[in-house]
Structures are given as C-alpha cells and as structure tokens.
Structure 1
Amino acid sequence: MGKRRRVEERSGRRRPAAVGGMIAVVVGGAGLGVYALYGGAAADDGSAAAANGRQVPRVRADVPSAAEAKALAARFLTAWQKGDAARAAAVTDDSAAAAALLTGYAKDAHITDVTLTPGTAAGVRVPFSVKATVKYKNVGKPLAYDSALTVVRNPKNGKAQVDWHASVVHPDLQDGDRLVTGEAGTPPVKAVDRDGGELTAAKYPSLGTVLDGLREKYGKKAGGKAGVELQVVRGKASKAKKASAKTLLELSKGTPGTVRTTLSPKLQAAAESQVAKTARSSVVVLRPSTGEILAVANASPGFNTAFNGSLAPGSTMKVVTSSLLIDKGLASADKTHPCPKTFTYGGWKFHNDDDFEIKGGSFKASFARSCNTAFISQAPELSDDSLTRQAQQVFGLSMNNWAIGVPSFDGSVPVQSKAQMAASLIGQGGVRMNPLNMASVAATVKAGSFHQPYLVAPSVDGRTLASASRTLSASTLAQLRELMNYTAAAGTAAEAMSGLGPDYGAKTGSAEVDNQDKPNGWFTAYRGDLAAAGVVQAGGHGGDTAGPIVASLLRTGG
C-alpha cells in the first residue's frame, strides 16, 4: 500500500479523506417517479442513446428534490397509516422486507390506531412522529416515538423511493429485527450494584444495553415472572453483533428477579459524568486483583462500544508487544534499542510521527515516546503467529471465551504476515479491541496474571471464567511495569497522569482509521488496585482525549 503508516502521536496535520459520490444536478419541478426524456437528432450529443433506430430515454440519476421527497413520504406514510402494508412497501427500494415488517407491525406487534405526522423535511430526509396504541388481549397502552425516512433515486429505473431500513419503522430496529407484543418469554430483572442499589437506565444512561443483556442472560434464573410487553426481537445480523432484545413498552408489569452486579455506584456515576463531556467516548474500570468490572460508560448509549466495540487499539497494543519482545530477548527496558525515523518491512514504509528518531536511546525511552519503528524493526525476528500466541496465552485475548455476564467481544489478534503482521505490533493491521479488553491488559500487568473481567459473579450461574495458559516471568513483568510507570511519569501519558503516582502505569495510543480526519484516541492505565481504559473515536491524540477520562476515574478511586 502506498499510504504512509504514521500512527503516533502528536500531529496537527489533517490527513486527506477519500470522499465517494458525485455531484448531481436536481431537475426542478420534476414529477414523482418521472423519467427525464431527452430528444435530439444525433445520438452522439450525449443526450440520448440509440437502439435499433429508436431513441432510448435516459434514466434519471439526480438526487431527488425536496418536493419529491415530501410527496413520496406522504404516499408512504398515508398507506402505512391506513394499514395498507403492500402499498406502502411498493414505494420503497426493498418491498419484500418492508411489507414483512409493516405487516408484522399490526399483526405481531398488535399496534393499532396509528397516526403518522410528517415533520419538516431536510432535503431528502423526512422526519415523522408516530402515535398509536398497543393492544394485547384486554390490555392497551399508548405508544409514541419519532422516526425518519430518506428518499433515494433508484439507479435502475430513475424512480424516487424510500431507502428501506427497519429503523424507518422504529429507530431501535436494525435490519432483520421485528416487533412483537405478547407475554414476554423472559421475566424482568432488577439489577443492583455491588452495594445493593438499583441500577436503572434513567440514573445511568450508559447501562441501557447492559440491563438488556442482564435480563436476557438471567431473567429466567433470577426468579421473576414475565409480563406483557412490546419488544424488539433481534434477527440474525443483530445477534451476530451481540445486540440484546429490547423492551419498548410494558403493558402489564412482570415480577422482577434480582441480579447483583460488580458495579461501583461511585465509579459508575463518575464514568457517566466523564463520557457526557466528550462525544464518542467510552470507558471501562476494572479491579486488577479480581477482574470485577466497576464501571462502564459510553457517550453514545445506543451501542455498547466499551464492551462490544471492535476498533484498532493503536499504540496501547504496544504493552502486549513489549511483553513479547522482552520475553524473546529482542528488547530490554534499559538497554539501547533502535528507533530510526522509518523502517520498511513487507513492502510498507513505516514512520514515526513527524519522522522523529531517538539515537542511542533505551527501549524504555522508545516505549514512553511511542516510537513505532522500535517495534516494527523487530518484525523480521518474529513468526507470523508470535503476537497472536502472546495475546492469547498471557493476556487471555482473542479466544472468544470470555463470559462476563452480558454480551462482549474479547478482542481479535489474527495471525498475519509481512506488512500486516508488522502493523499489528503497533495496534493496527487486523488487531481489534475495545476499552474492556485494553483495561484488562493494564490489569494483567498490574496483577501479574490475567483475571477474566466479569460483571456478574460466576457463582450466580456456575459459569467458568476464561483463563490464560501462562504468566509472564518475574523479569518480563518487572520490566513491563517499569515501561508503563515511566510513560505515566515522563512519557506521553505524563500530563494526564500527573499527581497519581508513584504506584501507577499507563500507555497512550492513536489509531488511524480510513476516511477519518483524526485518529481514534486511546489510553490505558492502572493505579493501585484499579485499571481503566478509554477510547475517543475521531478524538486525536489519546493522551489529550481519552487520557483525562481514564485518569479522572483512577483519581476517583473505588
């Protein structure tokens, strides 16, 4: 690839993003679904194509006008409101999927008396409000929510159509999901924190998906009784993303069972407060000695990036890579280690930020400043599966066997070769993590061994926690702690970690993402018996963005 691999750390330059698409000319006053017909005596003027002596009308390819969008939205919403699923589906670009979901809206979800009111259109996007009633047997309750649709041009026939997605019907639906009202198969749960206080999405907005997951996992085991509910039933695609079923409306209350979690009310409240200040931020706090999850929070609560995200972790991955290099005798904290401006491997030329170099410096200095080439330069000495085995055997990652109590992703460190293998050493390539995974990495360094994170104690349901097959040698562990401690005291993490020492360690990271102006900012650290990690997507340098969030929670204590 020709792209320069420049990952760390402080760069104020904006990188170009590839923008797809085309500039289209809107034909004013065009009627809904009308072809633009062009005449002319000659076919070579570009206005029409000739076939068998006939002029063939050119299919419209312009963006639908606001007038078209408004008119088409009115047709769609009118048909839906009348319960004519077939007619509403006919003006979408996926009539089969639309008809199935709109039919189920009345038949399976038992939603009646539907009133759909369009709002003010913004170009091709038309918002609308929904007011209806959900009736099941002798129980009925009002339902109200907002949604939106987008109008697009069909490239085959030029017609304006509704761009169909399940979220048009309800914003909590993903494609393949459906709505169902009935006696819930899973009883509700009352989730409580480690001190017995009730956890609710109203009090802790980030916990909405977590509470859904707890109900799905423990509802039938916690001793509750199901009620009647309107629910989102997940399809295959949603289940593959580990999305849990979701209750939209409770018609009659069930009796909840109680599930105790490991969450700290003080740290959870602090985490919620921190992510609320920074868009697209996520954070997790653990107790290294046990693996207990003390807090989890996301600025965007619709998806639990903290537990289920799959993002390149950038230079925070150098914690794992450093343990590998030290284990293999390819690096030592206080010994001289190469940090050239660039290093070429597998056909890629890897760079340090601003092409800096460290002449005659130690590996500790390279780690603290996050020198990419200090790690890439060791790629020729490693086998394709070296990093994968280190991540699995020592840090418990990429085994797909964590059982924390709710759906989670336990990282991916695939076996790669050549340039991709080299990139994985600095947390790019195919490596994917989330804050839960990287908090666990810091916790493993602090504790000296891997403890699988968990939100619900395994004694509740007798599940077995994942384990690592080996621990780091005393020498490697001591050096790894030295690297992270030095980075927290005098490296790229020093500003965020100021005043938290001396029993601390940290690593910053920035991960480039294609077509994104700024990299994702990462930060992982420990202090005492707390470990935490955070990410700010498109935030830039990790020390400046995720660092203050993580450091604040370590300062809060728990």
Structure 2
Amino acid sequence: MPEPGHATTHRRRPRTMVRSATAVAVVIAVAAGGAYAAGLGPFDRGAADPDRGPDPAAMAQARAFLTDWAGGRLPSAAGRTTSPGPAQEVLRNFTAGLDISRPALTAAKAAAAEDGTVSVPFTAKMPVTGLGTWTYTSRLPLRKQDDGTWKVAWRLSLVHPHLSGTQKFRLEREETHGPEITDRAGAALSSDAHPSLGPVLSQVAGAGTGGPRGSIKLVDRATGQVKGTEATFGKKPGRPADRPVATTIDAAWQSAAEKALASEADGKDAALVALRIDNGEILAVANSPSSGFNRAVSGTYAPGSTWKIVTTSALLLKDAVKPGDTVDCPRYLTVGKRFQNVETSEYRGATFLKDFTKSCNTAFISLRDRLGDQESGDVARKYFGVGQDWHVGIPSYDGSVPTPRDQTEKAASMIGQGRVLANPLIMASVTATAVSGTFHQPAITRGDQDTTTTTPLPRKVVTQLRAMMRATVTDGTARILADLPGGIGAKTGTAEVSEEEPNNGWIVAHRGNVAVACVVEKGVTGGASAGPVVRSLLAAVPTDPS
C-alpha cells in the first residue's frame, strides 16, 4: 500500500520480526473544534461565528479544515486547500498508512504575516491503533484567494513539519506474544467468545508484555533509509508472557453489553462501558464494530448533555442554584451563536430540576455567569478526576475541559459541547462519582498505579444529583428505563458533530453498584438511540456483580 504522504510508492521490505502496519479504514472522529450545527441539537446554523484572529474568515477556514481532517471527511478537508487532489491523497495515506484512527487536532492563535498570509499553529494528537498517541505540532498556512475566500495553502509540511518530497513516514510494529487473559472469576477470555473485546484483549496482553511495541520512522522516499525516529511506543515486558493476566471484566456483563449493541445500536458505530461504582473496576467494554479502534476507552467525543452532571455539580457546590429555583427554559438563547433545545422545545417558568430532567440547553446556558470561566474545568478535575492522568491498564483518553476562549464557547461548554471531550469510560466514571461522591480511578486490571488526587463531593450535592437523575428516569428524557427495577437514575445527551453529520446520542445510568455510559454515533438523540442499548443491558443482567 502507499506509504503515508505518498501516492505511488510500492516498495517491498524484507520480512523480519518487524512488520509494517496495514491500512485501516479512517474512522469518523469527533474532535475538538467541530462546526456547530442545528439539527435537533443546541446550535442554530444561521448564526455568525465570532472567531478571533487576524481575519475571522481565515481562522474559521483553518478550524473547518482541521475538523474535517479529524472527522475523516477527507474530500471536504482537501477541498479547503489550494490543491484538493494531492491533499486528499496525502491525508488518506498519512492516516491509513500509519494506522491513525481518530485524530484530535486543536488550533492555536493565528498570526498574520506581512505578505497577507495567515499562519495557524495546531497540535495534533494521532492515536496509532494498538500502540498509543503520537503528539506533535505543525501549522496551517492560509492565503486569500482572488474571490475573497481563504484557502489552506497546500504543502506536505503542514501535515507534519518533517513530511516532504524527499522524506516520508513508516510505521513499524514489533511482534509480541501475549499471555492468557482471564475475567474477574479466573475464566479465560477470548475474542471468539466476546468479539468486542478483541482490541481490549490485545491491549491488556500488550501491557503484560511491556505493551505493544513499535515506532514511527522518518525514511528517505527514494532509498527507504531510516533518517530518524519520530515516535516510539511500548516498553520492556513487565511480566513473563506465560503468566495469565487477570482483568476485572465480568463475563455476564460483557456478553450482555455486546448483545445490547448488536441488537439496539441499529448498525451504527457505538460504544459502552460498565463499571463498579465502589471501586472503579471495569465490568464491560463493548465497541461496535467490534474490531479496530477502542472508542469506548480512547474515543474523543463531545459528551453533550450528559456533561450537565458536572455543570450541575459546579452550580450546586457554590449554591449558585437550587433544584427548586425557577430557571426559565426558552426555545432559543443567543450568546454569539443562537443556541436551542432539542426539537426547539421550551418550558417557561421551569424549575432547575425540570431543566435537568428535560435537558434544557438554554436554561443551563443562562446560568453561565454564575460560574467562573475555569470553574467547570476545575470541578471536573478536582472532584471527578477528568483530565488527570489515569492508569487504567490499557491506553485511555482521560478527558479535556479547557478554559473557554470566549462567551460563546463558555455557553457551549455548559452543555458539554465546545472543546469539552470525553468518552464512555469517562462518563461512566463521572456517573459513578456523582452518585457515590467519591472518584475511583477506573481500571481493567488490578494493581495499576493511581496518581490521581481528588476531593469527595459533599453529601448534600450527591443527594441532589441522585434525586435529579432519578427524576430524569421517572419524569424526563430517560423514561425508556422507567419500567426497569432497581431505582435507576440516568441522564441523556445529544452531542453535535458538524453541519454534515447527524448528532451523536448519549445516555449514562446507574443502578445499584454499577454505572453505565453509552454513545451511539449519528444516533440523533440519546433517549432514542443509546437508551435502548442501556435498557437491554440492564434488563439482561438484573443483579450487581460479585
């Protein structure tokens, strides 16, 4: 297959214990900085974009290019450049050739040059399937066209500073032989019995042998000679390969999770995590499709309204609002952009409790001035451990809640949009923390290092959160779970991706000693897409794990 950044290379290399990666399909990504769409979600497409920089239009084009690239919409990304054909081919070969599954690309402050061009630095976090994340910085050059629009001035070096007409990259993986993997009861786990565990088991096995090992090499295009090593992955073995590795996976919960995704996700890409509330042990990790990227643990998604659990915690912690306070829920609210509620609903004279149960975006956004710009992020980190370095036992993405750059972004972050990023593992942990008051680092193997430092939530806040999540099941958007026993509490979410993509659907729930989070890509709404998945799971496993 073509090497990354080159369209016609077919050079064959000798077979050794090091082998090159094969191409994988580029997975649709949900990355920071996504365009705001209306659909059934909180943003109105017709509103203006208040980007700041030398020229707002240039910055908007740069962010749109990065969002399309991260989202796997390569024809659209290439169309924003001065050379669409070569750009599309290079971007495709770069991501596929290096097994990069879900890029996260974040733009920084733009700078204008004397010749009228604009340069936009960006940080690239490139998850290399099964190995880890390759992080580097580059910059986008933009030039104004004759028709007044801005285009990314295409050159190889914008993809990576070392990519050029004479140099390209090559991914090399080392063969490793992993140990047997067992569930929490000591029974062997396999991808044959649990197909969705395929990527998880390889990651756990790799951890037992020092992790999957590999590197990204910079090589000469003509000779194939290695010019340098850009990134290395893996470490020396931590235990003998013939010693079994015990996990916290519960076979019953895992089977039920996989069946729920297969029967209720309607063939869409989806992911689910279930974990114990009292200690963070992961009971089930399910992905659909079952092979490839472990989106449940390493995905980067806007969590949408499920994030209102954290926003509500921040408001309750400083007594900025009470559940019974009147917080009006209008159909629209403009903060730079026009925000709206799902299906443009409204609840005039609603209490904050009703705003939570009905997932009113405009009500939450109206409370933004009661929190400092960094306050939601501080609460997420201090009480929920989000953004700290987690040691789960396999590679994981541990969340990001950056300080909003303006009031529009602050409004978006109140409802889990903007640059707030999470995944089902994070949101299952957030749910467990909210209903217990104590953060426990999630883990899929026992004995993992815990470097997190958190503070317990006050008991009053926990009591209020539990009551609000229970009311969301009995009287709100999570009524799909209302007929199940066990005093279930939940929160649904709808998260926007871009103007071209349907919204992602979310739901988080807790019952007994288990917290669950599920996302269904392009699911439109959480209650209609992720809700049936979690309902199927909880109905199939009616008791807590031992």
Q: TM-score, normalised by structure 2?
A: 0.66
Instruction: Indicate which of 172, 178, 183 corresponds to 2:171.
Output: 178
Quote the Cα distance in structure 2 between the aligned partners of 1:367 and 1:423. Answer: 16
Instruction: Indicate which of 393, 397, 401 corresponds to 1:409.
Output: 397
Deviation track 1:195-228 (CA, whole Å, cap 9, x = no partner) reads: 111111222122222122212222259xxxxxxx
Q: Which residue pairs with 2:378 in the alignment?
A: 389
Quote the Cα distance in structure 2 between the aligned partners of 1:471 and 1:513. Answer: 33
Superposition pairs for residues 452-471 of structure 1, below 5 Å?
452-458=441-447, 463-471=448-456
Aligned residues: 400
Q: What amino acid maps onto 1:477 in structure 2?
A: V
CA RMSD in angstroms comes to: 3.7
Identity among equivalent positions (%) equals 36
Cα deviation, residue 422, structure 1: 1.2
1:287 corresponds to 2:276:
yes
| Contact 2:183-2:251 at 8 Å conserved across structures | yes
Quote the Cα distance in structure 1 between the aligned partners of 2:191 and 2:214. Answer: 20
Quote the Cα distance in structure 2 between the aligned partners of 1:305 and 1:457. Answer: 22
Structure 1 pair 110–368 and aligned structure 2 pair: CA distance change class (3 A) = closer
Structure 1 pair 329–255 and aligned structure 2 pair: CA distance change class (3 A) = closer
Cα deviation, residue 496, structure 1: 3.3
Q: Which residue pairs with 1:267 in the alignment?
A: 253
Structure 1 pair 442–169 and aligned structure 2 pair: CA distance change class (3 A) = closer
3-state SS in 1 of match to 2:528: coil
Q: What amino acid maps onto 2:93 in structure 1?
A: H
Cα deviation, residue 110, structure 1: 8.0
Quote the Cα distance in structure 2 between the aligned partners of 1:456 and 1:439. Answer: 17
For structure 1, which segment, 306-315 or 543-552, has the greater mean C-alpha deviation from structure 2 after superposition? 543-552
Q: Which residue pairs with 2:104 in the alignment?
A: none
Quote the Cα distance in structure 1 between the aligned partners of 2:232 and 2:195. Answer: 19
Quote the Cα distance in structure 1 between the aligned partners of 2:260 and 2:283. Answer: 15
Superposition pairs for residues 14-413 of structure 1, below 5 Å?
94=6, 98=9, 102-104=11-13, 106=15, 165=93, 176-179=169-172, 184=175, 186-219=176-209, 233-235=214-216, 256-277=242-263, 278=265, 279-300=268-289, 301-345=291-335, 347-399=336-388, 401-413=389-401
1:544 corresponds to 2:528:
yes
Quote the Cα distance in structure 2 between the aligned partners of 1:444 and 1:305. Answer: 22
Quote the Cα distance in structure 2 between the aligned partners of 1:477 and 1:521. Answer: 25
Cα deviation, residue 169, structure 1: 7.7
| Contact 2:384-2:454 at 8 Å conserved across structures | no
Deviation track 1:354-413 (CA, whole Å, cap 9, x = no partner) reads: 4332222211111000111111001122211010001001111012x1001000011111
3-state SS in 1 of match to 2:517: strand
Structure 1 pair 157–481 and aligned structure 2 pair: CA distance change class (3 A) = closer
Cα deviation, residue 490, structure 1: 1.3
| Contact 1:298-1:304 at 8 Å conserved across structures | yes
Q: Which residue pairs with 2:474 in the alignment?
A: 489
Cα deviation, residue 234, structure 1: 4.7
| Contact 1:297-1:306 at 8 Å conserved across structures | yes
Q: What amino acid maps onto 1:268 in structure 2?
A: Q
| Contact 1:264-1:295 at 8 Å conserved across structures | yes
Quote the Cα distance in structure 1 between the aligned partners of 2:506 and 2:306. Answer: 7
Runs of at least 5 residues in structure 2 that lack an aligned partner in the other structure = 21-74, 101-127, 130-167, 219-228
Q: TM-score, normalised by structure 1?
A: 0.64
Deviation track 1:72-125 (CA, whole Å, cap 9, x = no partner) reads: xxxxxxxx9xxxxxxx98xx97169x36xx3435567589xxxxxxxxxxxxxx
Q: Which residue pairs with 2:507 in the alignment?
A: 523
Structure 1 pair 469–514 and aligned structure 2 pair: CA distance change class (3 A) = same
3-state SS in 1 of match to 2:534: helix
Quote the Cα distance in structure 2 between the aligned partners of 1:431 and 1:157. Answer: 31
Cα deviation, residue 178, structure 1: 3.3
Runs of 4+ in 1 over 3 A off after TM superposition: 105-111, 155-159, 161-164, 166-181, 231-234, 239-245
3-state SS in 1 of match to 2:301: coil
| Contact 2:5-2:93 at 8 Å conserved across structures | no
Cα deviation, residue 447, structure 1: 1.8
| Contact 1:166-1:177 at 8 Å conserved across structures | no
Structure 1 pair 242–201 and aligned structure 2 pair: CA distance change class (3 A) = farther
3-state SS in 1 of match to 2:180: strand
| Contact 1:321-1:425 at 8 Å conserved across structures | yes
Q: What amino acid maps onto 1:493 in structure 2?
A: A
Q: Which residue pairs with 2:109 in the alignment?
A: none
Structure 1 pair 257–194 and aligned structure 2 pair: CA distance change class (3 A) = same
Q: Which residue pairs with 1:533 in the alignment?
A: 517
Structure 1 pair 509–220 and aligned structure 2 pair: CA distance change class (3 A) = closer
